Amino acid sequence: MTTESQPLYGGWRRSKSMGIATLNTSQTMVVVGALLAPILIIVVGGSLGTLTVTVPIALTVIALTVWQRHGMPLMSYVIGRARWSLAHMRGETSYRSVFLPSPEALDLPGMVAPTKLVRAEGADGRGPVGLVWNQRTGTMTASLLLNPAGSLLASGQTVTSQVSAWGDTLARLADEDGVQTASVTLQITPSSGAALSDHVRGRLDARAPQLARETIGELVSKAPRASAQLAAWMSLAIDPGASPEKPAGPAESAAVAIGALDAVDLSGAGVDVLRRATDADVKRLVRGAFVPGDMDAPAAQIDELVWHEVGPVAAEDAWTHYQHDGHISVSWVLREAPRKAVPYDALLKLLAPGTFMRRVTLVYRVLPTHEAQAVVEREINANEARAEYRQRTKRTSTRRERVDAEHAERTATEEAMGAGMVQWSIYVTTTVDSAEQLPAARREIEKAARSSGGLRFRPAFGGQSAAMVVGLPVGINPLL
């Protein structure tokens, strides 16, 4: 008996700029500035007594810049906390739609405030398309509703082909001038199993063998403990102004956005495209994020909603969570990609049904050819500068530094041979009904993340509301 070898994937690395040791350019400038500041003050002021004040301040700044917490410099954490505290004192972290001054001022909270839902009709007669127009940036976001095919029973050859097809899909996005970013979201909602029971009960044949009826009954009785509803969609953020057509108005811009969406080819990538998301679909997905129970609301109820009504009536953006209309959401952002090669099912535990609703979003930004070339050259130059620094300081490079340099060289070689370059990240959000459920929900996500092939996440401190809407089909993408 032979077993088919499972393909492995890896080689991801965090983008780095020139700097001393592991510091990037901005951190290096802060450290050098902190070292030179006491000397410059002495030169200008002419008094050595100032060292008793300037040296402790300089050492504090250096420590905050070099030390890290949750994968970020402690300085960034402190600045972020200070900015959030200031916004909280000003009341900018609270949202109350009932206190808005007039119906014309009604909008969604936070980063989705400048968005507007547009219903567009395609020229192909395939029905309406829901486009989310960001009136601040001018981008339009269109989405495809997906039905992922399971790969657990697929052969290694099939999986390899599907991964390759997905890579080709991302690479083709680099040739679309108007496409800025793409995202794929899977939302897993625990189900009571009542729908399955009703579905099976109405279709049982009274003439079926007793053993078959008992088997089906046992399967249905066990299903509620493991069943879940899965919703999946792919969204494209499109800048019509960057396309060669140069649309003259909103109608032409909508046509460009629909054309870019239709150009996406997912054949062979292990997923079926159900349809283009309509305006009703977009409203349902956004409304279901703020009020999970409304994901199954009747179609007539969703159709009656206007855009600002799909959001919450009240919301509080706290440092560690986001409270909205009686529900609480907690979000995490990818801190570090796996250092080792992982199998194709590395995210399986993170995407498996759990006790609480979760939403996993992979965001992508495919770099144009000229930008990808500049990026790889900058990465190579940064590695060479670090190597020169280690040589001058007579410090031996660590194994991790050597592996990182090898990955950078391989990336540059692949890009020179025509391969595309993609910036990507992962956002995870879980939603509960009460504060008492938060500890259990956090443990569930953190346990699943630890089992996901070496992925490391950190809480989206001070940006919980922003991290939550990244997973919605509204065009918010932090990679822009």
More confident residue, 345 or 458: 458
Q: Find out whether 234 and 182 touch, Cβ atoms under 8 Å.
A: yes
Single pTM value for the model? 0.84
pLDDT level of residue 2 (50, 70, 90 thresholds): very low
Q: Is residue 197 situated within a structural domain?
A: yes
Q: Is residue 190 part of a domain?
A: yes
| Domain annotation covers residue 443 | yes
Whether 2 is in a domain gets the answer no
Please check whether residue 340 is in contact with residue 129, taking contact to mean a CB–CB distance below 8 angstroms: no
Q: Which residues sit opposite 144 in a β-bridge?
A: 234, 276
* Inside any domain, residue 478: no
Look over the chain and give the mean of its residue pLDDT values, rounded to a whole number. Answer: 83
Residue 477 lies in a domain: no
- Residue 465, token pair as written in the block: 């509301």
Closest alpha carbon to 52 in 42, 66, 64: 42
Mean pLDDT of 451-468: 89
Q: Which domain holds residue 455?
A: 8-470
When pLDDT is cut at 50, 70 and 90, the band that residue 224 belongs to is low
Q: Where are the beta strands (DSSP E) in 33-178?
A: 68-69, 72-73, 94-96, 115-121, 128-134, 140-148
CA within 13 Å, CB half, 469: 21
Asked if pLDDT for residue 105 goes beyond 60, the answer is: no
Rounded distance, CA 461 to CA 467, Å?
Answer: 10
The answer to whether residue 3 sits within a structural domain is no
State the total domains in the chain.
1
Q: In the numeric block, which tokens belong to residue 340?
A: 């080792």
Q: Is residue 475 part of a domain?
A: no
**Is 375:421 a contact under the CB 8 Å cutoff?**
yes
